[in-house]
Structure 1
Amino acid sequence: SGAISTTARGHLGTFLVHSDRAALWRLSGLGTLLAAMPLPYSRRYEGLATGLRSAFEEAGAPFAITFMRGAGARTAALLEGKVDLVVLSRFAADQLIAEHPVELVADLGPATYVGAHGMLVRRGV
């Protein structure tokens, strides 16, 4: 199929010289990867979505993004097999990992997801 090229090196075995990741992905039959992200309400989220799409395209994997409000909705979609990966806050990811057999594949570091959260309450409440 032309997805890979190898060369025989005698007693050293056969070596992979070239691989076409897009062709390998197509042959795998896995289809398009679907990611669920928060609603893109900031340039940071827009940049993350653009970066993810570029990275997967460069890797030869078909990729699409859906935007869902709420970590709970994104988590449910992942656990139900509706999406292949989700973007969550570290807090939500840690809770998900503690309760289900899922794996954290990328930690974006401190303060890379959102600047900060706060809670406002009315006086006397």
Structure 2
Amino acid sequence: MSELFFKKKGIAIEKIAAEIYLLSVNDRLPTMNELQEKYNLSRGTVQNALSFLKKEEAIKTKSRGHLGTFIEQIDYKKLQTYSSAQRIIGTMPLPYSKLYEGLATGLYTMFNNQNIKLNLAFIRGAKERIEASESGTYDFAVVSRFAAEEEMKNDSNISIALEFGANTYLSKHILIFSEEGKNEIEDGMKVGIDEDSLDHYHLTKDLVEGKDVTLVNYPANQLIHAIRENEIDAGVWNYDEIVEKGFTDLNYVDIPVKDYHKSISEAVIVCSHERLMIQSLFKKNISIEQMHDIQHKVKTGQIVPRF
């Protein structure tokens, strides 16, 4: 019985610490009723969690009568401590493009400015990254908004913590051919497809619809090699890498634009529903505007990637 009590108290402290982390001095503290309803906690549990945070001097509050209770002092470092969020570990795509390097640099820089230690693991395939985040192996994952929404349709236990906007994940995809003069997928072709990449898989399936082709499962980062070795006839790839690495010998065409392509171009942060403090850390410490600026500066060579 006592073990269950302390477990509930710990969960309540973590949830309420994450909620308060988003506040600043002079902000109104959510009421007991608001916290009870939002987190499905009893009044006593909420009261105990708030009392603990005040006793540990994570917050200091002052009542202003009918106006409510307001934050007088706040110690973000202590709030992080009570939510086990002093060091976070995330996963993102292999940093083969300047936009990805810019994303990693932006996250590292902004968290470092707040004395939050960030470690990144680079994993190929949005499915793998989302599953690792959902299971708690990593605190968060960087994927496209399209990949996140596709997984959320399948009742995945993830939430989008932050959205960075169009063209923060990539500028666009293109279709590459091994043979000069080709500009569309034809019957009889062998087409590369990465079944671990939700973006690549859906783009490719869309392009080959109604065509009599053979789909060859290939890691997306090996498609250019497969094209050059004539192991496949065509494949979808990231235009940014083509430009940045000067692959001028490749024959490629633009992919006809569809509505969902915009969501494929946008980078988002996903994490498990339960990781409330991770969501708060991103909302509080990561500036979308600053991320755009860092990505631009990394892309144009004004700053050296750092992560």
The reply to whether TM is greater than 0.5 is yes
Root-mean-square deviation over aligned CA pairs: 2.5
* Cα distance in structure 1, aligned partners of 2:91 and 2:115: 19
Which residue does the alignment assign to 1:6? Answer: 61
1:89–1:8 distance in 2 versus 1, CA, 3 Å: closer
Which residue does the alignment assign to 2:241? Answer: none
Higher helix share: 2
Alignment of 1:1-125 (within 5 A): 1-9=56-64, 12-30=67-85, 32-58=87-113, 61-99=116-154, 100-122=156-178, 125=189
SS at 1:92 equivalent: helix
TM-score, with length taken from structure 2: 0.36
* Cα distance in structure 2, aligned partners of 1:10 and 1:94: 44
Which residue does the alignment assign to 2:10? Answer: none
* Cα distance in structure 2, aligned partners of 1:101 and 1:26: 24
Deviation at 1:18, TM superposition (A): 1.8
* Cα distance in structure 1, aligned partners of 2:84 and 2:167: 37
- CA shift digits 1:37-86 (9 cap, x unpaired): 11111222122112223334455654322111111221221232211211
SS at 1:106 equivalent: strand
Runs of at least 5 residues in structure 1 that lack an aligned partner in the other structure: none
Equivalent pair of 1:68/1:74 in contact (CA under 8 Å): yes
Equivalent pair of 2:134/2:157 in contact (CA under 8 Å): no
* Cα distance in structure 2, aligned partners of 1:45 and 1:97: 23
Equivalent pair of 2:93/2:123 in contact (CA under 8 Å): yes
1:96–1:50 distance in 2 versus 1, CA, 3 Å: same
1:13–1:112 distance in 2 versus 1, CA, 3 Å: closer
Deviation at 1:98, TM superposition (A): 0.8
1:55–1:122 distance in 2 versus 1, CA, 3 Å: same
Deviation at 1:27, TM superposition (A): 2.5
Greater Cα offset, 60-69 or 34-43: 60-69
Q: What fraction of aligned residue pairs are identical, expressed as a percent?
A: 38
1:58–1:2 distance in 2 versus 1, CA, 3 Å: farther
* Cα distance in structure 1, aligned partners of 2:115 and 2:61: 20
* Cα distance in structure 2, aligned partners of 1:59 and 1:15: 24
Equivalent pair of 2:77/2:86 in contact (CA under 8 Å): no
Considering only CA atoms, is the larger Rg found in Structure 1 or Structure 2?
Answer: 2
* Cα distance in structure 2, aligned partners of 1:35 and 1:9: 41
* Cα distance in structure 2, aligned partners of 1:28 and 1:45: 29
